[in-house]
Amino acid sequence: MKITLNANETNDYNIILNQIPTIPKGTHLYFRDFFTGRTASQRVAIKLREEVVSGRLTGIKLVGTKSSQGYIII
């Protein structure tokens, strides 16, 4: 499934992309950790998972097989 994000969702997704390089390697985190004090669209979570699984996004990988298991910075 290919997710197309609206402008607000794209902004949220770009926030994630900008944060990933600043997080120490080996850090285990969950999608919600990118948005402290607020929530983000589930569509952004789906987009992140799609990009990680496809290999288009480097520096981060899934801990297990589901995004609910979290991500690890590599």
Domains in the chain, number: 1
Residue 1 lies in a domain: no
Query: Which pLDDT tens digit goes with each residue over 8-49?
Result: 999 999 999 999 999 999 999 999 998 888 887 899 999 999
Report DSSP letters for the chain, one per residue.
------HHHHHHHHHHHHHGGGSPTT-EE-GGGGSTTS---HHHHHHHHHHHHHT-S-SEEESSSSGGG-EEE-
Is residue 57 domain-resident? yes
- State the residue range of the domain holding 11: 7-73
Contact 60, 74 (CB under 8 A): yes
Residue 15 falls in which region: left (phi positive, over 0), alpha (psi -120 to 50) or beta: alpha
- Cβ atoms of 41 and 12 within 8 Å: the answer is yes
Taking the whole predicted model, whether its pTM rises above 0.85 is answered as yes
In a domain, 30, yes or no: yes
pLDDT in tens, 46-71: 999 999 999 999 899 999 988 889 99
